Structure 1
Amino acid sequence: MKIPVLKIDQFQKSKPLKDLYINSFSNHIARNKDLISKPHSHNFYLCVLFTEGTGTHEIDFNSYTINPGKVFFLKPGQTHFWKFDTKPEGYIFFHSQEFYEMKFLDHTLHSFPFFYSYQNPPLLEVPQEKRNELQLKFQEAYAEYQQDHLLKELKITNLINSIYIELTRAYTADINIEKLVSPSYSIILENLENAINTHFYKEKLPKFYANQLHITTKHLNRVVKQTLNKTTSQLISERILLESKRLIVHSNNNLANVANTLEFSDYAYFSKFFKAKTGETPIHFRKKYFH
């Protein structure tokens, strides 16, 4: 069994805007509970604001607390599921990359820090004084989505853009703008993450990725060190480890097949790698996860 990848049209009502979905969170849960009750991934960008409720949100094996004022962001391919202790409420919207970027040709989704790098946290606690203002923007987008007024799509796109701008300002409020990494380093890091996502099954050495980006390995390591305080090898290992966890937990493959899928020479080598990174064997990790 593979992790289900959910598409926007599975969630849509009648006469939807193409590549866009907006709902109140309680309606979303009620209408789609069979789709979203198990770990799954998406082929779209997602943003949710919680105004009520508590629980946990697991994103790629990291657990985050849900409470009023929390906003979560998901990029295509990330695996997640919700677990609620008290009834949630809020607003959720998701859209394809094309829906946004066809309207803002000079501004991509990766300009926003929460979508820019997997190294950036996928959540934000909105300051108390900003919550009402932000909630009103989500409410207005939801109300517009339900109506059929003139220039509906343009208004919703502008509201989503406004939401993203406000969330970016809150997300970066504690960052000294002068210390942000240079745009050229940001582009290299983005291209590196994309290259690792594409090739990590086969290619596990920094030299390959430096060649893909047409820079030296030394320069690539310098960029990763200055932007993330990590090494290129660490980024590659983290991606392999994440995929290992996804396959161990969300597929019915035996562990030897998981090792084979990830192109390790044998299971013993894979198990040694996994234990060195997590402190436990793949078998123990699978048992613990379902305990």
Structure 2
Amino acid sequence: MKATTLHEFYEHTSDFSGKEISSLLPPGIDKEIGHFNIFDIADTIEKFKRKTTMPYNRRAYYKISLIQGASRAEYADKVIEIEKNALLFATPKVPYHWVPTGEGLSGNFCIFTDAFLIKSKSGVELDELPLFQAGGFPVFQLEDDQAKDILLIFNKMKQEIASNYAFKYDLLRTYVIELIHYGQKLQPATVSQPAQTATTRVSSLFVELLERQFPIESPNQKLSLRSAKDYAERLSIHVNHLNKALKESTGKTTTDMISNRIIQEAKLLLKQTDWNISEIAYSLGFEEVAHFSNFFKKQTSFTPVAFRS
């Protein structure tokens, strides 16, 4: 369940490509720049063909993919079948699952760290953008002309990263920002507008505070905020104010949102770790296993043991 680091990414890529890690790294990259690289999906697809499943991963880097061909993307309980062209954004905060479902996939993906984009003078703060916020579903089906626009940007990236231009990483940052803004414009206008009201600000802060507690990476890690009252106190507002703001902006109560996020994490822990049920219950803030089991069954209609099996 721990995040896939960049080093692990390159180790895996080296294993299935048969290339040395040093040959996979972009020329001239160093820790002062942050990290950026670009890959062809067709060149890496064999990795997926050799696996029957691809586990949910919390990656320690951001990723933007142009996917051309049949595949499926899953974010928690949200699923989208990609028929032809899609633009996918991934963040270290949110686990996702991507599986090819057809032959002849093509496209490109780039990976980068927040440190890489911080070097930009554009003022872009990744985690403030709707594309990279928790609870989103940043996969966009593209028309052919849109896919051509995105492919052109990726081709510029590939050409630039192989060049000897002294300021190429500055230019590559502008291409990454261009992709981000392209995705921003694909979202509904109501989503991409900056939050300006007190209600939306409270909702945004609550979601950020909620997501800060995840992922759970050790049985000894325990949620510090568990109830609506806990969150309201941390935000220095009355619990009724918090409930009203979330109900207006999301249609859900504070308790509903907390429960949904805990269930999402519980499912991942049950499927992707070998922790026993009592360890999972403790890490999610339940003092008694029976309380966790009753909560899980009420939310999913399954007991934790039945869901895991």
Q: What is the TM-score of this pair, normalised by structure 2? A: 0.80
Q: Alpha-carbon deviation of 1:105? A: 6.1
| Residue 110 of structure 1 pairs with residue 110 of structure 2 | no
Q: Matched residue of 2:102: which SS?
A: strand
Contact residue 126 and residue 170 of structure 1 kept, 8 A: no
Q: Give the structure with the higher percent strand.
A: 1
Displacement of 1:81 in angstroms is 3.0
> Per-residue deviation at 1:9?
3.5
Identify unmatched segments of 5+ residues in structure 2. Answer: 11-23, 214-221
SS in 1 for 2:43: helix
Residue 94 of structure 1, CA deviation: 1.9
Match of 2:117 in 1: 100
- Aligned match of 2:302: 280
Partner of 2:163: 147
Going from structure 1 to structure 2, the CA distance change for 1:268 and 1:220 (only over 3 Å counts) comes to same
Residues 262-281 of structure 1 mapped to structure 2, 5 A cutoff: 262-281=284-303
> Quick one: which of 130, 137, 142 aligns to 2:146?
130
Tell me whether 1:190 sits opposite 2:204 in the alignment: yes
- For 2:123, the aligned partner's letter is D
Q: Which of 60, 63, 86 does residue 70 from structure 1 map onto?
A: 86
Query: Quick one: structure 1 residues 122 and 166, their matched pair in 2 at CA, closer, same or farther if it must change by over 3 Å?
Result: closer
What secondary structure is seen at the aligned counterpart in 1 of 2:120? coil
Q: Does the 8 Å contact 2:242/2:254 carry over to 1?
A: yes
Aligned-pair RMSD on alpha carbons?
A: 2.7
Gaps of 5+ in 1: none
Structure 1 range deviating more: 79-88 or 158-167: 79-88
Query: 2: distance between equivalents of 1:10 and 1:20?
Result: 15
- Please show how residues 3-18 of structure 1 align to structure 2 within 5 Å: 3-12=1-10, 13-15=24-26, 17=29, 18=34
Q: Offset at 1:207?
A: 1.7
SS of residue in 1 equivalent to 2:70 = strand
Query: Which letter does structure 2 place at the counterpart of 1:5?
Result: A
Q: Residue 181 of structure 1 contacts residue 227 of structure 1 at CA under 8 Å; is this kept in 2? A: no
Q: How many aligned positions are there? A: 281
Task: For 2:243 and 2:99, locate their aligned partners in 1 and report how far apart those are by CA, in whole Å.
Answer: 39
User: What amino acid sits opposite 1:237 in the alignment?
Assistant: S
Counterpart AA for 2:108: Y
Distance between the aligned counterparts of 1:215 and 1:28, measured in 2?
49
C-alpha displacement at 1:215, in angstroms?
2.2
Instruction: Give the corresponding residue for 2:271.
Output: 249
Q: Is the 8 A contact 1:45 1:94 kept in 2?
A: yes
Per the TM alignment, residue 204 of structure 1 is displaced from its structure 2 partner at its CA by 1.6
Q: Secondary structure, in 3 states, of the residue corresponding to 1:43?
A: coil
What is the Cα deviation at residue 33 of structure 1? 7.8
Offset of residue 162 of structure 1? 0.9
